Structure 1
Amino acid sequence: MQTKCDILILTADFGSGHKSVSNAIKSYINDVDSNVNIEIVDMYKIIRPKLYKYIYKFFGILIKYGTPIYNFDYYKKNNNDKFGKLHSCYKSSSRRLARYLEDVQPSIIISTFPTCSAYVTKHKKDNNVSIPLITCITDIVKGSEWLHKGNDMYLVATDTVNKSIVKRGISKDSVITTGIPIRREFLEDKNLPELRQEYNVSQKDFVVLMMGGGLGLIPKEVSFYEWIAANKRIKLYIITGNNKDLYNKISKYNEYSNINILKYTDKVADIMAVTDLLITKPGGITLFEAIASNLPFIIYKPVLGQELENCRYIEEKELGYVVQSEKELIDKISLVMKHEDIRSKMIKSIKEEQKNIDMKSLADNIMSVYNLNK
């Protein structure tokens, strides 16, 4: 027997971003009403309790060795309304979800992963259930993977995505631009002098933060780190997250005085606040954390479908650069470091995009649905 809850947030562990969004949503809802009981649950633990660990392991292998296969599936689902809508929704999984929801009896469901939305809308249709479903789209995409008949509200990253979804026949009243939910520490004012002192950053330093360690998506060539080491104005931080193998592989670069290799840290917002340039993979959550932090970025070797779509947004809005090689990466770091006017122009564009971020609207709209259905 599962514990009953008021709001159920369904997510998946394909990368840490979807769970991060789920936790942010829970936090903002509880700001409005701390008495609301919210549970965050991995969808695959419900529908595939014996296999979910293997599913995630296979995903990691697919990303590393089978990107063309992943991207074929991704673009088919997002460019064809009929392809793959429920291609992973099996009867046994649907029955498990139905039993789980019967036990938990939430007043509303929030989805932060497209397959979660697919299963819940299928459940609603097959069982004639009217429980409201709110889908929070965690990338800057316009595809059909996230769109399902029976979804009651969409929370989207930008006005451009909003308009695109409405053009595809979704009621404009059910699509709300909130920005991608990010943790509150990225939205809070920072004591920059204190943080610079804590991280030993001087006014003359050019601080570069590199992320993407979860999947090991950072430069591999020794020459890159030697170039960094030779440029004493640069202070490089690399966050490897929980990727122990990556940390062990590159921790030797800690011997350079201007390179700092970090394991998992909950101080990302503080580090971003004192950073001049971010090098990362183009996940929607990380991009919006950078936008909230007034931080220009360079996207390094994007390969996945949603990453490539996010890159289009980056280039269209002139928020940063997209590079495909370590030589390009060095060239762009040098360019931004030497020309403050270029960095200032990117920051100006970033500040425009900050207007999309409205966590109060996110919480208020969710609560309006909840209050009508509790």
Structure 2
Amino acid sequence: MKKKRILFLYELVGFGHKQIANATAKRLKEKHPEFIIKSEDLGGKYYPFVIGSMRIGYSLFVQNASGLYNYLYHKGTNRKSRFFLNLPTSIVKEKFKEFIQDFNPDLIVSAYALDTSAVSLLDDKELKTKLIAIATDFFVHSYYISKNVDKYCVASKFSKRVMVDSGADPKKIEITGLPVTKKFLIKGNKQKAKRKFGFSQDKTLILIVGGGLGLGRIEKALETLDSIDEEVQIAFVAGKNENLYKKLTRKKFRKNVKIYGFIKDLDSLMDAADIYVGRAGGNGISEVFAKRIPMIYFGGLPSQERANAEYLESIKVGFIAKTPKKLKEVASRMINKKELLINMKKNIQKNNMDKASDNIIKVIEKELNF
């Protein structure tokens, strides 16, 4: 019997797309060791300048021009704007086609909208394979919707509704949740985790994270939470933002504050945390969900992350803090009202996505008639 060949696609514009693709690919290999599986960053492989420029541009938008990003993002949800969005995908299409024809996969799983669109631009003679798209945010941009996609895997009922409103065929949409790396699904002991990182057992630990790139207004979040009246301790993750890491390690704080760079055992640090403060990217949310940590959304983009955060607030698992003053108010309320944190954790449990990888694998198996 011919071995099934599966190709996973992602791009390194941020780290969430790769994490989601690799988490699913690894789980698929565990369940089907006979499959031949490849995970590829094709844009970075063949067009490093283009992808590198996108990454730099994304960082600059987040830090300095979020309003312009918001305008362009929502302008892009207009179906008439597809022509401009398709320009970069038409550029990368030929190299994608060469790689796909060489690997000859039975199925492609794409965790990035540009890749999904590029593959979908291939005609039926060029694309003799199935295509599954994983939407990596709760609010799904219409750019994910492409003609040759066989199935969409989305995070929630809300995500499906957004896609249907944008013109997607509801029969093609499967609600799977967003997958995480396996280690985030392991529920560690909070007391042991606090001891491991040198934090007190009897004080609330606030974890501030700016994603892998250390973006957003996370420095302002630290400054604000270091000044609150409540007795708290703070773990701050700067990610790969080395300048921010160096700057903050030289700074004096009122509270017990520990500064980390890109940390490999973030899952263990999350075990120690009582409250999570950060942006609301899809991958970050799924990790926070897996660890059952109530969240405060602060300092992210006013576009897909804003919509993600509004969804979180609507299901009562997190709060939006638009200003430092609001961040201080919300954090104080969560610290002082233990029942509030308990209820938020119950709501996370109710909406958990722990089976997301397995759910996506079921979709893959069905498309392969396996």
- TM-score, normalising length: structure 1: 0.88
Q: CA deviation at 1:157?
A: 0.2
1:61 aligns with 2:60: yes
Q: 1:91 to 1:137 in 2, by over 3 A?
A: closer
**Does structure 1 conserve the Cα–Cα contact (< 8 Å) formed by 2:208 and 2:222?**
no
1:331 pairs with one of 310, 329, 333: 329
3-state SS of paired residue (2:153):
strand
State the match for 1:216 in structure 2: 215
Q: CA deviation at 1:36?
A: 2.1
State the match for 1:18 in structure 2: 17
3-state SS of paired residue (2:76):
helix
Equivalent AA in structure 1 for residue 352 of structure 2: Q
Q: 1:317 to 1:222 in 2, by over 3 A?
A: closer
Q: 1:172 to 1:145 in 2, by over 3 A?
A: same
Counting only pairs closer than 5 Å after superposition, residues 82-161 of structure 1 correspond to structure 2 as 82-84=80-82, 86-89=85-88, 91-125=90-124, 127-161=125-159
**Does structure 1 conserve the Cα–Cα contact (< 8 Å) formed by 2:226 and 2:253?**
no
1:237 pairs with one of 214, 217, 235: 235
1:165 pairs with one of 163, 187, 199: 163
**Does structure 2 conserve the Cα–Cα contact (< 8 Å) formed by 1:178 and 1:356?**
no
The CA deviation string for residues 146-177 of structure 1, in whole angstroms up to 9 with x for no partner, is 11111011111012222443465544443221
Aligned length: 365
Q: Which whole-Å CA distance do the structure 2 matches of 1:52 and 1:162 have between them?
A: 28
**Does structure 2 conserve the Cα–Cα contact (< 8 Å) formed by 1:124 and 1:131?**
no
Q: Which whole-Å CA distance do the structure 1 matches of 2:96 and 2:222 have between them?
A: 49
**Does structure 2 conserve the Cα–Cα contact (< 8 Å) formed by 1:254 and 1:260?**
no
- Provide the alpha-carbon RMSD of the alignment: 2.6
Q: Which whole-Å CA distance do the structure 2 matches of 1:301 and 1:215 have between them?
A: 11
1:266 aligns with 2:272: no
Q: Which whole-Å CA distance do the structure 1 matches of 2:113 and 2:254 have between them?
A: 43
Q: CA deviation at 1:243?
A: 1.0
3-state SS of paired residue (2:95):
helix
Equivalent AA in structure 2 for residue 113 of structure 1: Y
Q: Which whole-Å CA distance do the structure 1 matches of 2:253 and 2:72 have between them?
A: 43
Q: Which whole-Å CA distance do the structure 1 matches of 2:26 and 2:303 have between them?
A: 30
Q: Which whole-Å CA distance do the structure 1 matches of 2:4 and 2:320 have between them?
A: 43
**Does structure 1 conserve the Cα–Cα contact (< 8 Å) formed by 2:106 and 2:368?**
yes
**Does structure 2 conserve the Cα–Cα contact (< 8 Å) formed by 1:208 and 1:279?**
yes
Q: 1:116 to 1:334 in 2, by over 3 A?
A: same
Q: Which whole-Å CA distance do the structure 2 matches of 1:90 and 1:203 have between them?
A: 51
Q: Which whole-Å CA distance do the structure 1 matches of 2:133 and 2:152 have between them?
A: 5
Equivalent AA in structure 1 for residue 104 of structure 2: Q
Q: Which whole-Å CA distance do the structure 2 matches of 1:145 and 1:309 have between them?
A: 16
**Does structure 2 conserve the Cα–Cα contact (< 8 Å) formed by 1:26 and 1:38?**
yes
Q: CA deviation at 1:336?
A: 0.6
Equivalent AA in structure 2 for residue 310 of structure 1: N
State the match for 2:72 in structure 1: 73
Equivalent AA in structure 1 for residue 209 of structure 2: M
Q: Which whole-Å CA distance do the structure 1 matches of 2:321 and 2:136 have between them?
A: 23
Q: CA deviation at 1:30?
A: 1.0
Q: Which whole-Å CA distance do the structure 2 matches of 1:226 and 1:141 have between them?
A: 32
The CA deviation string for residues 184-233 of structure 1, in whole angstroms up to 9 with x for no partner, is 112123234432332344441101000006243213388536526x75x3
2:186 pairs with one of 188, 212, 216: 188
Unaligned runs of 5+ in 1: none
2:204 pairs with one of 203, 206, 211: 206
The CA deviation string for residues 113-132 of structure 1, in whole angstroms up to 9 with x for no partner, is 1111111110135x452311
Worse overlay, 106-115 or 251-260: 251-260
Q: Which whole-Å CA distance do the structure 2 matches of 1:129 and 1:187 have between them?
A: 36
Worse overlay, 344-353 or 171-180: 171-180
Worse overlay, 349-358 or 241-250: 349-358
The CA deviation string for residues 88-129 of structure 1, in whole angstroms up to 9 with x for no partner, is 24654222222222222222111111111111110135x452
3-state SS of paired residue (1:341):
helix
Q: CA deviation at 1:133?
A: 0.6
**Does structure 2 conserve the Cα–Cα contact (< 8 Å) formed by 1:157 and 1:356?**
no
Q: CA deviation at 1:18?
A: 0.7
Equivalent AA in structure 1 for residue 224 of structure 2: F
The CA deviation string for residues 249-289 of structure 1, in whole angstroms up to 9 with x for no partner, is 11124766611101111211111122110001011111111
State the match for 1:279 in structure 2: 277
3-state SS of paired residue (1:88):
helix
How many percent identity over aligned positions?
Answer: 22
The CA deviation string for residues 54-75 of structure 1, in whole angstroms up to 9 with x for no partner, is 3322332233333233222211
Q: CA deviation at 1:301?
A: 2.7
Q: Which whole-Å CA distance do the structure 2 matches of 1:194 and 1:223 have between them?
A: 27
Q: Which whole-Å CA distance do the structure 1 matches of 2:221 and 2:154 have between them?
A: 37
Equivalent AA in structure 2 for residue 348 of structure 1: K
Q: 1:184 to 1:197 in 2, by over 3 A?
A: same
**Does structure 1 conserve the Cα–Cα contact (< 8 Å) formed by 2:46 and 2:95?**
yes
- TM-score, normalising length: structure 2: 0.89
3-state SS of paired residue (2:38):
strand
State the match for 1:354 in structure 2: 352
1:8 aligns with 2:7: yes
Equivalent AA in structure 2 for residue 154 of structure 1: Y
